[in-house]
Amino acid sequence: MPRKTTPSFIVEYPIVVDSKSDRELQARFNAGFRLLNAVQDEALKRMELLRDSEAWKEAKKLPKTVIDLKGETIYNPERTKAFEEAKKAYRFTEFELQAYATLVAKRSVWMWDKLDSQSIQKLGTRVFKAVNKVLCGQAKKVRFKNNRSFSSMEGKQITTGIRVDRETEMFVWGKLKCPLIIDFTDDCEKHGWDSKWKYARIIRRELNGKIRWFVQIVCEGIPYQGRANTQTKDAKSSIDLNVSNLAYVSFDKAGLKPFADQVPTFEKEIKGIQRKQDRSRRINNPENFNPDDVVLKGKKKGRKVKRKGQIKKGKKLEWKNSKNYERLGQKRRELERRKTAYAKSQNRALANEVLREAGKHVSLENVSIKGWQKRYGKAISAKSPGFFQSELLRKAESAGGEVNKYSTQKTACSQTHLNGNRVKKPLSQRVHYDNTGIVMHRDLFSAYLGLHVNQDGYLSVEDARKGYLGSEPILNAAWAEFKQRSSDKARPRPGSS
C-alpha cells in the first residue's frame, strides 16, 4: 500500500555560521557527495544487470493494461509484480541502496563520523529515484556530483539528524548547532514556524562569491494565503503559451504578457568573461590543445581563416587553472545566478497575476516544452516558459483549482476558424484573420478558443462563435495594451544616440 500523503509547503531561514561551523558543514557536504557518487556507481551497475536479465525482459512482454471485473481498463498488476520481483532479485530497491549506502559509510569511517544514519539513508533514496527514472525511460542519464553541484542534504524526520529546535531557534545536526535568522514580523515565515513540521533540509548556495547556508523546513498544510498578490479567482481561464509570450483569457479578463519581462541577460558580460577564461586556459595548458590550423570558409571554400587549436581527445586531461581563471568563473556564475533568479521571480509574479485576474480553473494545450528547447535554445533559457507553466499549475492545484490539458491535434486552436474550418498558417504570422471577418492576435484567439474546450478535450466551435461578441472588447483591450508596451520598448530612451 502506498503511503498516505498530506499537503506540504516549504519555509526557508538563513543560518548564521562562524568559520568553525562553516568548515564542519563543508566537510559534511564533501562526505555527502562522495558517498552519493559511490552509491550511484553501484546502482548503475545493478541497473544494467537488471535490464539485461531474462526476468526483466519477460516482464516487459506482459500487456501494460487489462480489463478488470468492472469493465474498466487498469494497469496490469501482474506486470507490476513481475518488475518488482526482478528488482528484488538484483537488489535494485530503495531499501537495498539505503543498506549499501550505510555499508559504504561505515567502511570509510570518516564518512560515518561526518554523517548521521538518516541523511545516509536519504542519499540512498535519492540515488534510487534518479537511477530508477533512467530504468523506466523517464530520463536518459544521471550525473555524478562534484563539490560545487552537490548543494543539499536532508533528513527523514524533524526529531533527529538534520533538524531545527523550536525552543532555542537553532539549526541542529548532531553536535553542530547554529542560530537561525527568523523574521517573525513576516507573516509567511511566522506561518511556517507555527505549522506542523515533517523534516528539514540544509541548502548551500554561492552568493556573490561567498557560501551561504539556509535551512528549509518541509511543513504540513498549505502556505500562507493572506497576501493580496497571491489571492486566486474562482473562475475558468484559458492560457496559450508561446516561446516568449503568454496569452490568458477568461470571460471577463484577458491579457497578453511577456515572460520574464525586463530581465537582464548579461549576455555581453558573460561572453567577455568566457573569452578571458579561454585565453587563460590556453596559456596555462598548451599541452591540452592541438596546434592552430587554417580552415576554408565561405560557400566556395575560398576564404582562409585561422582557427584556434581544439581540445585534445582520447585521454583524460589534467588542467592547471590560475587564480584569475577561478575569479572569472566565480564572476560568471554570479551573473548566471542573478539572471536565473530574476527570471524566476518575474515568472512567479506573472503566474500569480494570471490566477488572480483570470481564474484558478485553467485550460491549456498539452505542448512539448522540450521540443521548444531543442529548436529555440537561447530564447527558452532566457524566458523559461516551462518553469512558468509548472509554477502556474502547481499554484492552481494548491489553491483548489482544476487543470485541463487538451491535445493540440484534437483542437488545433491556432488553425481553427469560427465557422469550423481549419487553415494552417506559419509561426511568423502573429495575427489571425478569421474566415468570418474577425481580426485578432493569434495567441489571444487561441486562448479564447481554449475556454470552450470540454473535459474530454474537444473544442465546441459553436459555443465559441456565440460568445465571441461578448469577449471581443476585452480581447481588443489586451491586444492594444500589448501593442503599447511593444512600442514603448522600441522607442529610444532620452539621451541615447
CA distances from 45 to 64, 97, 159, 267 (A): 26, 12, 35, 41
Instruction: List 165's β-bridge partners, or say none.
Output: 170
**Looking at residue 434, what DSSP letter applies?**
-
Q: Is the confidence at residue 61, as pLDDT, over 50?
A: yes
pLDDT of residue 374: 82
**Whether the Cβ atoms of residue 82 and residue 92 lie closer than 8 Å to each other:** no
Q: Over the stretch 395-424, which tens digit does the pLDDT of each residue have?
A: 998 888 999 999 888 888 889 999 989 988
Q: Which of 222, 216, 258, 224 is nearest to 241 (CA)?
A: 258
Name which of 131-135, 336-340, 425-429 the model is least confident about: 425-429
Which residue pairs from 47-53 have beta carbons closer than 8 angstroms and sit at least 24 positions apart in sequence?
47/92, 47/131, 47/134, 47/135, 49/90, 50/86, 50/87, 50/90, 50/92, 50/135, 51/135, 53/86, 53/89, 53/90
pLDDT of residue 143: 94
pLDDT of residue 381: 82
Q: Over the stretch 334-345, which tens digit does the pLDDT of each residue have?
A: 999 999 999 999
Q: Over the stretch 449-493, which tens digit does the pLDDT of each residue have?
A: 999 998 888 899 999 999 999 999 999 999 999 988 877 665 555
Q: What are phi and psi for residue 424, nearest 5 degrees?
A: -75, 145
pLDDT bin (cut points 50, 70, 90) of residue 66 is confident
**Whether the Cβ atoms of residue 385 and residue 372 lie closer than 8 Å to each other:** yes
| Mean pLDDT for the stretch of residues 3-14 | 89
241: part of which helix (H) or strand (E)?
Answer: strand 236-241
Q: Angle at Cα 419 formed by Cα 413 and Cα 425, nearest 5°?
A: 45
Domain ranges of the chain: 10-53+90-220, 231-264+331-490
| Distance (Å, whole) CA 302 – CA 300 | 5
pLDDT of residue 485: 85
SS3 content of the chain, % helix, strand, coil (to 5): 45, 20, 35
pLDDT bin (cut points 50, 70, 90) of residue 239 is very high
